[in-house]
Amino acid sequence: MTKGVHRKGKNWTNRTGPYNDRTGQCLPSAFGRQKAEEQAARLACSAIESASLLSLFLSINDNASQVLCSVMFVHTKSQLKCGLFGTSHSCRKKNLFFSNNICHLSHVPAAVDSSVLKVLRSCNIKMSSPVIDKAGTDEIFKNGMQDSYISSSYEAAMEALSSLITRQNRKDRSPVGGKYEKLERMSIYLEILGLEERISELKIIHVAGTKGKGSTCTFCEAILRECGFRTGLFTSPHLIEVRERIRLNGLDISVDKFLLHFWDCWNLLKERVSDDLPMPPLFQFLTLLAFKVFISEEVDVAIIEVGLGGKRDSTNVIKAPVVCGITSLGMDHMETLGHTLGEIASHKAGIFKPGVPAFTAPQLSEAMDVLQETASNLMIPLDIAVPLDHKRWEGLKLGLSGDHQFVNAGLAVSLCKCWLQKTGNWADLIGKKEDGKTDELYIPETFLRGLSTARLSGRAQVVHDAPVMLDGSMNSSRNIMAKLVFYLDGAHSPESMEACAKWFSSATKGSKTSAYLTSPSSVEVKHMKLVGRNGFIPQETDSGSNMVSKQILLFNCMEVRDPHILLPRLVNTCASSGTHFSKALFVPNMSTYNKVTSGVTIPSNVSSKDLKWQFSLQRIWEKIIHGKDPMFEKSYEVDDLELLPPRDFLYEDTTHCVPDKHFSCSAVMPSLPLTIKWLRDCVKENPSLRLQVLVTGSLHLVGDVLKLLRR
């Protein structure tokens, strides 16, 4: 009984476990459409019977855990793919996180009439939209059972992912456990999932680097999608939803597809857990899941961003990518990768493979020497990708803002050209050119469209806060007055902080260049209205109005970062462009390192009692502004401070700050939600005040702000 009920015979595959359309056998076409649907109907009845037996088994077995059973039919032309009903994953309590004893039916054949559907509903079979349409508007569907099930299953998946986080913070370097090294362990996981051989089917672009990995991968994905290819993109970290890490054709993977592939991977791996082979940590599991999704969804190209380093990164189980790329290198993750640029470059070059061409963005000589030596030892070409010349491509507006993106775009163009050439598609693309030119600097129109439409949240992103966004007619762009504007960039290394500062200074200079420097959010912000050409929101200048613009810094960084380097780099770069912060606000993140949550989840208690790190950041800031350590009459603790500063605190600039016994140019805020509310209240109370808030130092902070603004 625990094996479930199976159709046997040469026409049906005999397997257990969740549905996998890549392994389910098809009925021979000779059976014809009618025979196939009759077989499917009989299979549905068998599954219903098995579900009833399983339900009885679960009700009498106290040790049995919850189970999700899949009965999925996918009709393709005149053949039928079948994932057979099975319960091989249901009898091991420790392996399961499922929330409901529900079976899933995604397609109903024509031979199944309404009476059968009633039986399906009575057996608590979950049905997708096409099945619901056939069943009619029964009350069972009106009460939101579908949404409730998906929501509970998704929350269970988030709990399962959270259980894979073994470290409480990034400073924790404790080993995962087991007897295998990381890459050896990854290979075993791939074998368990049946992906070890099939991963070679993917035509991969593999990208490592310190700065711009995500941007370069995003450009590549947008370019090749514009060229007509089905794309898969794997990046990290996510800002709001974990599904952001896995994209299909430019969109985050859907909840349904995520859950289908997630639980398939989860159960197969859980069955094989042992002291020698523990469950994979979070990033390794998500890497495996991305491979599973891209193989199952049959993408034409998979763009894979390295997580950390390269040589020992989980993604480096890729043995034969089509092409590899290295973005700009700098000093980051030194506790793992080394304390010199050469050591860091050695790790990044670990993704190079024999026979696989490689490209790099321009590098400092210390890093370039290591990259070239590694390529030479492998006897592979290493070409330097020339940054795009914005003068040559006058009028090109990159989808990602900032001058540094021309470097990432140049690398993406080189990687995509190489990918198209190696896969035999470049000639077809060039053949569409009217003039027939094939010079090295030629960029096809599809490339230009991809570069201009690429979107990546949290990198040089501008969000106009909805509650105070509009003044006057909602249909007239001239009346738009953004009184509270958030400039979000997850910079957290010295080099990226400098690039962030240059972008912020340029983006706040006025409306004449704003269309070239700001891009709409790829995350839909509730009630936010995007107007103007190409979706950009024009900014109103101060000329002819009494508006006073103030630049505010909203900052946090992880304790493994060095704020003594990050903050001075930010302040000095902004000052060199004539931008000065009126005030700085230091706030704890809302999200936690050891918890994965859905995008709608806001912690109930987000006020932090431990603000020591934020106070240390504040002291560094005050010393930068005043040139000396602030003085105190006594030691300030959290209870000694007001929860929030008075609203007139924002009205004075740093030039009027007096370094007395109190912090005068900055404030420590108790929580992020209170900070957002306080900023909104400030601009509401003062009609002449416009706040331009730079949110930086941490991608986690940026994601938390986006989550709050979306609400």
Per residue in 458-502, pLDDT (tens digit) is: 999 999 986 544 444 333 333 345 689 999 999 999 999 999 999
Q: Is 471 helix (H, G, I), strand (E, B) or coil?
A: coil
Nearest by Cα to 616 from 603, 629, 599 = 629
Of the CA atoms within 13 Å of residue 662, those in its CB half-sphere come to 10
- Same-domain pairing of 557 and 703: yes
Q: Which residue do the tokens 């899941």 mark?
A: 289
Does the pLDDT of residue 520 top 90, yes or no? Answer: no
Q: Is 297 helix (H, G, I), strand (E, B) or coil?
A: coil
- Same-domain pairing of 629 and 650: yes
Average pLDDT, the chain: 75
Does the pLDDT of residue 559 top 80, yes or no? Answer: yes
- Same-domain pairing of 360 and 473: no
Residue 610 domain flag: yes
CATH code, domain with 664: 3.90.190.20
pLDDT of residue 554: 98
Neighbours of 654 (CB within 10 A): 16
Q: Are 349 and 374 in contact (CB under 8 A)?
A: yes
Compute CA 147 distance to the chain's CA centroid, rounded to the nearest angstrom: 23
Does the pLDDT of residue 433 top 80, yes or no? Answer: no
Residue 30 domain flag: no
Pick the range with the lowest mean pLDDT from 12-21, 121-130, 355-364. 12-21
Residue 58 domain flag: no
Residue 113 domain flag: no
Pick the range with the lowest mean pLDDT from 151-155, 232-236, 452-456. 151-155
Q: Which of 435, 453, 471 is the last residue of a domain?
A: 453
- Same-domain pairing of 372 and 467: no
- Same-domain pairing of 370 and 481: no
Pick the range with the lowest mean pLDDT from 306-315, 446-455, 480-489. 480-489
Q: Is 264 helix (H, G, I), strand (E, B) or coil?
A: helix
Rounded mean pLDDT, 379-399: 89
DSSP characters for 332-397? --HHHH-SSHHHHHHHHGGG--TT--EEE----HHHHHHHHHHHHHHT--EEEPPPP-TTTTTT--
pLDDT of residue 594: 74
Pick the range with the lowest mean pLDDT from 27-31, 125-129, 352-356, 454-458. 27-31
CATH code, domain with 198: 3.40.1190.10
- Same-domain pairing of 374 and 471: no
- What CA–CA distances, in Å, run from 630 to 377, 566, 583, 653? 54, 20, 16, 17
Residue 123 domain flag: no
Residue with more model confidence, 78 or 102: 102
620-660 pLDDT tens trace: 999 999 887 665 444 444 454 457 888 778 876 655 565 55
What domain range is 670 assigned to? 461-509+546-634+642-709
Nearest by Cα to 561 from 241, 330, 326 = 330
Nearest by Cα to 89 from 107, 70, 106 = 70
Does the pLDDT of residue 449 top 50, yes or no? Answer: yes
Residue 7 domain flag: no
- Same-domain pairing of 476 and 358: no
Report residue 26 as tokens.
Answer: 């098809």
- Same-domain pairing of 673 and 619: yes
State the alpha helices, DSSP H only, in 297-338.
334-337
Nearest by Cα to 315 from 280, 341, 344, 339 = 280
Total structural domains in the chain?
2
Residue 169 domain flag: no
Confidence band for 608, pLDDT divided at 50, 70 and 90: low
- Same-domain pairing of 485 and 448: no
Nearest by Cα to 250 from 530, 536, 522, 534 = 522
Alpha-carbon distance of 358 to 23, in angstroms, equals 34
- Same-domain pairing of 347 and 481: no
Does the pLDDT of residue 384 top 60, yes or no? Answer: yes
pLDDT of residue 65: 37
pLDDT of residue 469: 46
Does the pLDDT of residue 60 top 60, yes or no? Answer: no
- Same-domain pairing of 410 and 499: no
The reported pTM is 0.75
Of the CA atoms within 13 Å of residue 621, those in its CB half-sphere come to 27
Find the length of the chain.
711
Alpha-carbon distance of 60 to 369, in angstroms, equals 68
Q: Mutual orientation of helices 145-162 and 282-296 as an angle, nearest 10°?
A: 130
Cα–Cα–Cα angle for 596, 293, 700, nearest 5°? 25
pLDDT of residue 630: 61
Q: Are 702 and 239 in contact (CB under 8 A)?
A: yes
- Same-domain pairing of 476 and 347: no
Residue 85 domain flag: no
Alpha-carbon distance of 284 to 264, in angstroms, equals 16
Nearest by Cα to 211 from 66, 75, 367 = 367
